[in-house]
Structure 1
Amino acid sequence: MANKVSIIIATYNRAHLILDTLESVYAQTYTNWECIIVDDGSTDNTEKIVNDLVSKDSRFIFLNRPSERPKGPNAARNFGIENSTGDYVLSLDSDDWILPEHLELKVEVLKKDPAIDGVLSKTIMVDSNKFIIKKEERTRLTKNILEDFISLRVSWYMHDIMWRRSFFENKVLYDEQLLKMLDRDFHIRRLSENPALAFVNEYLSLYRIHENSNSSNNNINVAESRHNAIVKIVIVLNEKGKLSKNIKFYLFKHQVQNLVILHKHPRSIYLYLSLIKKTFVFRSDYLKWVLKLMVGYFSFKIIGKGLYFVQ
């Protein structure tokens, strides 16, 4: 049967949450789907919970990330995509939800127009009880979608976009070396490839906000991974002829704000110099942020403060 949707879920120690996510998949009004759950080495009873569901519905498929692949959700996602068979692909985190008409509305768009590579919708941020925290209002299409996405004038989450599988052919998908900016890096790479996108102006997903969702941001290794991701993006965009002066500025500014943590790194000066080398443009707003970087760095080193300078 044609027009199958492959839903890819990477999971790690989410036994207490994943069943809610899988039930949101089961409740879809569009029924021609497969849901591939790739475990990233869980030490809880995630496998038992998922396999109980697999035994009841063969559309759910449980896999373990191969030991030779790096640990992390991106390797698990790639492995899931590699083992999927659907015409369309949707990635979903193991603690979020898709609303009942999510698949149906997007498949309808993709079936109607074969030229469309991906279909967007919007997300509502909720707590664990599904009480609304806020609605994402930045999800939309614009004439300069790559630059607007990088500058955060436009934003969406991993589960907000369903892709036509054929658009993934011969492309690097999720970067398996990253610790941070996992899906954002993926989206920027896809946007640099000039996809034809459509937009369903509906809230079709729920994104769970955890109380400790920002805890990893204070980790130096995570901060370095974010920095390296930015450098990789600069290189990719430059190779594709997509690295405009505005994009250089936005990416550099983003990393100056990361100085709050990255100043602790023993090679922080080298990391920033390498970024400046790849992004420098002679314009006032960029030079202003170079000054903020310098003042903020020495402020952090001398008195341990300096947040004001890099905001």
Structure 2
Amino acid sequence: MATYNRAHFIVETLAAIQKQTHINWECLIIDDGGTDNTLEVISPILEVDPRFSFLKRPNSYGKGLPGCRNYGIDTATGDYIIFFDDDDIPHPQNLEICLNELKDSSFKFCRYLRAVFFGEFDYKFDSKNSFGKVTFTHNDLSKMIDHTISFNSCAVLWSKSCFEKNRFNETLMYAEEWECYSRILSEKIKGVCIEKTLFYGRKHANSNTGEFWKKNPVRQNSKKEAIRLIMENLRAKNLLTSYLFTYLSGLAISFRDRRLIDDIIKRVGLSLRQKIILHIKYTVYPIWVAYKRLLKTKKPKNVI
């Protein structure tokens, strides 16, 4: 659990983790150089529950979420990992249900559903143990990349073996999960996706996602770099299908950054046909956007 100046939220999150029905766990709280009284407010919990550890991110790891998570991966002693946030609430049966699913040794992760809430947490947990499930294989990689099947960091329990050769890219300050998980899943591992909500994410204005949509340059540039890295990895593994090329190049073009397009062409190793398509799409994109807006304005209204 990476944390930065969340003294006003973190105690509630730690209390929820303590209520896990599976009791054999460790929670590494990685402080990213915060300046508030986080340690003071969580000290009563640390003193009575040795399963919690409060650690300062060493300078050998980059500042930010990726560096904290990489330090956590390198420090963790368990066989499985979940990246909890410091302001969210896990379902009491989160670990119990996921670990039960992973008794099938062919599964390397368990993905579950995530709900969001605003303000105070006031949910009644679903205690039913019957739910739908599907197997996720390398054939579903495109669904993860285009977010048809979302892989929110707090909504996946991973086998630690998935990180033997993978770490979060510490230069990314947004979309680092998307980029890292696409690399892991491109290694053709198999997991299970269950239709049960086991995590509740708190929504607030100061989130990384909120900053991205407000066009924060750090978040925007990080997403651009993540797109390029994903395309480069897929091309190297011969997994950049026509659909994924269309989807990822479309994302890149939407930023209207000529340097990004040139960088993708230079570094990803596209075919001549793909290069021509990318140039054409970049050029005509403003016309296409204007055309779509025009269609919306001319859409006939329902007559009662």
Report the TM-score, using the length of structure 2 for normalisation: 0.82
Aligned residues: 279
Larger Rg: 2
Question: Which residue of 1 is the match for residue 66 of structure 2?
Answer: 74
Q: Distance in 2 between matches of 1:225 and 1:296?
A: 26
What is the SS of the residue equivalent to 2:8?
coil
Pair 1:22-2:10 in alignment: no
Give yes or no for contact 1:88–1:162 (8 Å, CA) kept in 2. yes
What is the CA–CA distance in structure 2 between the aligned matches of 1:293 and 1:51, rounded to whole Å? Answer: 54
Give the Cα–Cα distance (whole angstroms) in 1 for the partners of residues 218 and 50 of structure 2.
40
Matching residue of 1:125 = 116
Is contact 1:120–1:199 with CA below 8 Å preserved after alignment?
Answer: yes
* Change over 3 Å in CA distance of 1:254–1:226 after alignment to 2: same
Distance 1:276 1:27 in 2: 50
Deviation at 1:199, TM superposition (A): 2.2
Matched-pair contact (CA < 8 Å) for 1:256–1:289: yes
Any unmatched runs of 5+ in structure 2? 124-132, 297-304
Indicate if the aligned counterparts of 2:265 and 2:275 stay in contact, CA closer than 8 A: no
Residues 1:272 and 2:266 are matched in the alignment: no
Deviates more, 1:238-247 or 1:89-98: 238-247
Change (3 A) 1:97 1:122: same
Deviations 1:224-265 (A, max 9, x none): 221111111111122222211211111111223334xxxxxx
In the alignment, the residues of structure 2 paired with residue 288 and residue 97 of structure 1 have an alpha-carbon distance, to the nearest angstrom, of 46
Q: Does 1:188 align with 2:179?
A: no
Q: Counterparts of 1:145 and 1:107 in 2: how far apart (Å)?
A: 22
| Matches of 1:271 and 1:283, distance apart in 2 | 13
CA distance in 2 between counterparts of 1:220 and 1:71 reads: 17
Unpaired stretches in structure 1, ≥5 consecutive residues: 1-8, 133-138, 260-267, 300-305
Measure how far apart 1:49 and its partner are. Answer: 2.2
Question: Which of 37, 42, 45 is the equivalent residue of 1:45?
Answer: 37
Between the aligned residues of both structures, percent identity stands at: 30
Measure the CA separation in 1 of the matches of 2:134 and 2:35.
39
Q: Would you say the 8 A contact 2:106–2:191 is kept in 1?
A: no
Offset from partner CA, 1:73-118 (integer Å, 9 cap, x none): 11001101111111111111111111101100011122x2122100
Q: For residues 286 and 262 of structure 2, what CA distance do their matches in structure 1 show?
A: 11
Opposite residue 168 of structure 1, the aligned amino acid is: F
Q: How do residues 67-106 of structure 1 correspond to structure 2 at under 5 angstroms?
A: 67-106=59-98
- Equivalent residue for 1:157? 152
CA RMSD between the two structures: 2.9
Structure 1 equivalent of residue 300 of structure 2: none
AA aligned opposite 2:203: I
Quote the Cα distance in structure 1 between the aligned partners of 2:187 and 2:93: 28
Change (3 A) 1:204 1:87: same
| Distance of aligned partners of 1:127 and 1:307 in 2 relative to their CA distance in 1, 3 Å threshold | farther
Q: Is the 8 A contact 2:82 2:157 kept in 1?
A: yes
Whole-Å separation in 1 of the counterparts to 2:281 and 2:163: 36
Tell me how far 1:131 sits from its aligned partner.
6.1
Q: Is the 8 A contact 1:118 1:162 kept in 2?
A: yes
From the superposition, tell whether residues 222 and 140 of structure 1 become closer, same or farther in structure 2 (CA, over 3 Å): farther
